[in-house]
Chain A
């Protein structure tokens, strides 16, 4: 089951944004969506969340089509899919608990839903606990650090009780430790044990593994190394087309990276985790047009 992309195509005003993207993402996996700026990562996430309609093809969630006449309505989709956008409004006059409670909106009756019912509060508490943020509940939103806001946003998404979590560049503006902590938490929320991909930053995974069982995550990332460290699968997009998909080992290869990003790099195994680590070389000229066969070691001194 999980998520199936069936030849998804999307155009805006005659411009192809996505062209026949197909992939199958099993339940419980973490998928990294990679690609240069403008590759169509955010658009694909919006399509999966049902915020846009595909012009051709479609998205299936656990066997059900998202959107359309016979598919899941926007509200039904919102009970299964939570999307976190790139940036969050920093000037919100709410407590963290109130922010997390927003995630209960799709589950309430449209007109007379009991705002802040016991059940909603319980789910909110659980969601905060899943990201290790119970201590944040009564903090005012604007007093949180960037990393804390991002974690609280994930708690809000979890309060939707989704089976699919979509994250659009969740590590933007976060420092290194916050980046690793956040992705480790996402990793832990999904049922996959992540063997061979963990880097030792598996924070909170024991607390959340049971509660988040069955959660599937797709996140758009810019940092190839974070994707390599935390994702089970990689979808690599370029100009709206799926260029490569598979495990990080299969996708993150020098030749493919050179072709898509136009940069010169070497890929070496992580000294502790064994997952691929991409080391970029500050090439004087774009490597793509005249790139020789990529070598595993080069500039011996630069490998530190």
Chain B
């Protein structure tokens, strides 16, 4: 083959070669459209599910009413407020948080070249937890999102300044610094809980630590949607450059990429978005770890396809998981982090067993 004639092979023997998967744009678009449709359907259904019976018609009528559309059937005020004040904000927050976490996880795995990376890798969740726990203990829970966000930012700054020794950030150093900060934050959180928590605050803390969307409101929708729209768009646009890193830093640099600046900017942006998500939902695990791997199976590793699909499927996954979390043990509600772990871990194990694990080593 080496010395074979060049042109004859173009159309001749391609079909005989073992192809891996259809990388056609059509197939990918199919998955994307299917996922979006599934997300819309799941979100609509999720609003109808709960202790009080709400029909899809009620949902449509309520939404239409709030959108100012004329000529819709009247909805009982109680049903309307269940839809508009309780369930819709919650479903929307779940979608935004799921989308953001899946996006951040996918980018984090690429930036650090570590298949086990997740959005909390830089110690963000433990920083956020420390901030949140302090606020709960002090009895000023209304400030929790702000405290969690500030905690996440503090953790980010600490991690990056440790990782930046010598002016450059290597993936390995970022992971190690994140690990150190995460341990420190966890120790601080445990210390605060051990000394000060009791009764109600203990329950509130646990709920938050495991991740929960119970506190959703239109405010949390605004925070998460705003962060996703602004930071998320920036990440998607910049992260397509990550393709250049496929063969390492030098290869990326010789493709004209400013390696250090790209890595730095993406880490910071991912941390900001993660911080915003953690501040509204606590640290929900496994979405950011598992989803990107599942999505890669559908989209391939190219970021231009991976990231949009990860956003949609992350949203879909968390909408479903949260609906399960709040209804299965009705009237009690589970922290959604428990559900994502229960679903995520078996899926992850299957993934490890089935996939060519060599590609991860």
* Residue numbers in A under 8 Å from B14 (CB-CB): 134-135, 137-138
Contact A78 B254 (CB under 8 A): yes
Shortest C-beta distance, A71 to chain B (Å), equals 14
Known: A102-B243, A111-B237, A178-B2. A139 touches B17 (CB 8 A): yes
Interface size class on chain A is 35 or more
Bound state CA distance, A140 and B12, in angstroms?
A: 18
> Which among B141-149, B244-252, B337-345 touches the partner chain?
B244-252
Interface flag for B165 (CB, 8 Å): no
A96-140: CB near B (< 8 Å → 1, else 0) gives 001100110110001111011000000001000110101111111
Shortest C-beta distance, A67 to chain B (Å), equals 12
Interface flag for A231 (CB, 8 Å): no
State the interface size on chain B (CB cutoff 8 A).
43
Bound state CA distance, A78 and B250, in angstroms?
A: 12
Within 8 A of B (CB), among A239-266: none
Contact A181 B2 (CB under 8 A): yes
* Residue numbers in B under 8 Å from A178 (CB-CB): 2
Shortest C-beta distance, A215 to chain B (Å), equals 16
Contact A140 B256 (CB under 8 A): no
- Residue on B with the closest CB to A140? B20
Interface flag for A94 (CB, 8 Å): yes
Interface flag for B253 (CB, 8 Å): yes
Contact A140 B246 (CB under 8 A): no
Contact A105 B244 (CB under 8 A): yes
Interface flag for B1 (CB, 8 Å): yes
Q: Report which of B3, B19, B304, B359 forms a contact with A93, defined as CB distance below 8 A.
A: B359
Bound state CA distance, A152 and B264, in angstroms?
A: 30
Interface flag for A74 (CB, 8 Å): yes
Interface flag for A29 (CB, 8 Å): no
Interface flag for A177 (CB, 8 Å): yes
Shortest C-beta distance, A210 to chain B (Å), equals 12
- Residue on A with the closest CB to B10? A134
- Which has the most chain B C-beta neighbours within 10 Å: A49, A73, A105, A151? A105
Bound state CA distance, A205 and B9, in angstroms?
A: 16
Q: Report which of A92, A125, A137 forms a contact with B246, defined as CB distance below 8 A.
A: A92
- Residue on B with the closest CB to A211? B6
* Residue numbers in A under 8 Å from B254 (CB-CB): 49, 51, 78, 81-83, 85
Within 8 A of B (CB), among A22-57: 46, 49, 51
Contact A102 B244 (CB under 8 A): yes
Known: A74-B253, A85-B251, A207-B6. A102 touches B13 (CB 8 A): no
Q: Give 14 A-B contacts (CB < 8 Å), ordered by A residue.
A: A49-B254, A74-B257, A77-B256, A88-B247, A89-B246, A94-B300, A95-B20, A98-B302, A102-B243, A132-B4, A134-B14, A136-B17, A140-B18, A204-B6
Contacts beyond the supplied A111-B237, A140-B20, A207-B5: 12 A-B pairs with Cβ under 8 Å = A74-B258, A105-B241, A132-B1, A132-B4, A132-B6, A134-B6, A134-B7, A134-B14, A138-B17, A140-B19, A160-B255, A177-B2
Name A residues whose Cβ lies closer than 8 Å to a Cβ of B. 46, 49, 51, 73-79, 81-83, 85, 88-89, 91-95, 98-99, 102-103, 105-106, 110-113, 115-116, 125, 129-130, 132, 134-140, 142-143, 147, 151, 153, 160, 177-178, 181, 203-204, 207-208
10 tightest Cβ-Cβ pairs between the two chains A and B: A78-B256, A75-B256, A106-B256, A83-B254, A207-B6, A203-B3, A140-B20, A181-B2, A135-B9, A134-B9
